[in-house]
Structure 1
Amino acid sequence: MANGLDRLSYQSRWFHVAPERKFLFWLLMMVLAFSLPPFGQGVLLVALAMFTCWLLRVSLWRWLRWMALPMGFLLVGVVTILFSVTREPQQLLYGVHLGSVWIGVTPQGLASANSTLWRSLAALAATFWLVLNLTFPQLIVLLKRGRVPRLLTEQILLTWRFIFILLEEAAALHRAQTLRFGYRTLPLSYRSLAMLVSLLFTRVLLRYKALVTTLDIKLYQGDFHL
């Protein structure tokens, strides 16, 4: 079962480009994201957005929805940088008096939050570009070329495989519960969700045992062919 990321990476216009070139391009974009001023980082962000949409044949709206997923964590970090607590209100561009202290925005905090925001967005867009254009077999090739320990590579491979198993089982259980009106009311939804979690654990264990049996039949000796 291939997820959405797999399908997108296989339909990329750069599907046949060597993974080493993709990785080097990503490194270049990361260097630019951390070295350019905020205006340059904004230009890089727009360029990466257009380039990613063209390579994957997707709309800009879909790309923006992907970027919106981690934005909550990013905004929390930016807000903590933006606001400062001080006893000297003359240092603030705008502030609110709370007790014996002032909470507000300083020029240094505003500049730091602005640079952090654009730097993070540019780096995030570059990382999204790599993830969406690099297939999993190409990732394995990169790990082997990078002399990553074989055991770690095998763990990554198995984790990737079991993510698909987990999603497949969860989707099947949720579909069955929905057909039986398991999410009709809020209390019923909580009960159905609890049943889904418990059944999901059991189903995944059964799939794991089936995988072990398959490996034993194929005379598995402890090493995967990578």
Structure 2
Amino acid sequence: MLGIDKLSYQSRWCRVSPLRKFALYLVMMVLAFALPPVGQAALLLVIAILTCWLLRVGPVRYLRWLAVPLGFLLVGVVTIIFSAAHHAQALLWSVPLGSFYIGIDAQGLVMANQTFWRSFAALAATYWLVLNLPFPQLIILLQRLRVPRLLTEQILLTWRFIFILLDEAQAIHRAQTLRFGYRTLPGGYRSLAMLVSMLFSRVLLRYQQMVTTLDVKLYQGDFHL
């Protein structure tokens, strides 16, 4: 199981209806986009407390999850803060760059503040849904929402092949480690290159085995979801 699967199955709301979870997620998203920055910060705090309680995790671990996309968010916020103008008076702080001035714009500060808290609140809401929704409930939710069956089957097969990919990669890496394949840096690079090439062929072989199994079971093009 992936770590995200383990967390979703240990959630206090593991057996709650996926439709109720999705409805609450929609409410969170509407509030994240409709509230002012102060309200968005309060919503973020409420979602964080609820997520930690439901998943039985500490706040430090939850902050580590939020820190993953923080770098991308900060890059976007910084680009909003800084602006270019022909006159230095149009900016709160600026440095000359040729015939232009590059600096901090007052309107950009307001927009960056709104974007930061809105994005963080929406991200926390999405984390809450993903971490509290086991994969079987996701399939049920897609069916209830009348998502095309073909798309649901593709999602199911993609999820299945993630585990196949990880299983094969771990097996190859374990065998290479036992043979001291990663003892030195050059040897590690060679072992990694061999792992990638072997992983490709092993996954294709597992795919052929799955196709053969489906043919033996008289597969007619539809999975029983």
- Coarse TM-score class (shorter-chain normalised): over 0.9
Within the alignment, does 1:47 sit opposite 2:46 as a pair?
Answer: yes
Alignment partner, residue 81 of structure 1: 80
Deviations 1:88-130 (A, max 9, x none): 1111112222222211111100110111000000000000000
C-alpha distance in 2, partners of 1:176/1:41? 49
C-alpha distance in 2, partners of 1:17/1:171? 34
- How far the C-alpha of 1:183 sits from its partner, in A, is 2.6
Unaligned 5+ runs, structure 1: none
- How far the C-alpha of 1:172 sits from its partner, in A, is 2.1
C-alpha distance in 2, partners of 1:14/1:104? 48
Amino acid in structure 1 at the alignment position of 2:21: K
Alignment partner, residue 147 of structure 2: 148
Amino acid in structure 1 at the alignment position of 2:163: F
SS in 1 for 2:39: helix
Q: CA RMSD in A?
A: 1.2
Unaligned 5+ runs, structure 2: none
Alignment partner, residue 33 of structure 1: 32
Please list, as runs of the form range in 1=range in 2, the aligned pairs for 1:91-170 lying within 5 A after superposition: 91-170=90-169
- How far the C-alpha of 1:141 sits from its partner, in A, is 0.8
C-alpha distance in 2, partners of 1:64/1:177? 35
Aligned length: 225
C-alpha distance in 2, partners of 1:86/1:183? 53
Amino acid in structure 2 at the alignment position of 1:57: R
SS in 2 for 1:207: helix
Amino acid in structure 2 at the alignment position of 1:46: L
SS in 1 for 2:95: strand
Identity %: 72
Distance 1:184 1:82, change over 3 A: farther
Distance 1:96 1:198, change over 3 A: same
TM-score (norm 2): 0.96
C-alpha distance in 1, partners of 2:182/2:37? 46
Alignment partner, residue 8 of structure 1: 7
Deviations 1:11-40 (A, max 9, x none): 100011100000000000000000111111
C-alpha distance in 2, partners of 1:83/1:173? 48
Amino acid in structure 1 at the alignment position of 2:146: R
Following superposition, which runs of at least 4 residues in structure 1 exceed 6 angstroms of deviation?
A: none
- How far the C-alpha of 1:222 sits from its partner, in A, is 0.9
Deviations 1:121-169 (A, max 9, x none): 0000000000000111111111111111111110110011111111221
